[in-house]
Copies of this chain bind each other. A is one copy, B any other.
């Protein structure tokens, strides 16, 4: 997969997916494409990564899924974020900013803040 450590991937996959779904509902394959595009190819989730994470998020009540048929007849499992997911996303953002400040202080670089 990508060059990032699995720890970093593990720590950011849910926040990233929640962010994408908070702008519009999407399906697994498209989410993979979105992340690849947004990261200029730096992050590339595999099937074995995205689907278990989506299933876990749904099980945790962060997102909901529903099937749709596209215009060419293709069946897709769409996901949309629900309230608990929105709340978690806010929390993840706050925490990320805090940790980023700590790390920036440690590394003597300017943290990015609003």
- Measuring CB to CB, which residues of chain A are less than 8 angstroms from any residue of chain B? 3-5, 7-8, 10-12, 14-16, 19-20, 38-39, 42-43, 92-93, 95-100, 102-107, 109-114
| A98 touching B42 in the complex, CB below 8 Å, given contacts A106-B16, A113-B112 | yes
The count of identical subunits is: 2
7 closest Cβ contacts across the A-B interface?
Answer: A11-B11, A7-B11, A111-B112, A112-B112, A39-B102, A19-B106, A8-B11
Interface residue from B15, B38, B92, B114 paired with A109 (Cβ < 8 Å): B114
Whether the Cβ atoms of B103 and A12 lie closer than 8 Å is: yes
- A109: nearest residue on chain B (CB-CB)? B114
- A8: nearest residue on chain B (CB-CB)? B11
* Inter-chain contacts of A38 with B (CB < 8 A): 102, 105-106
Whole-angstrom CA separation of A96 from B106 in the bound complex: 13
Interface residue from B5, B102, B107, B114 paired with A11 (Cβ < 8 Å): B5
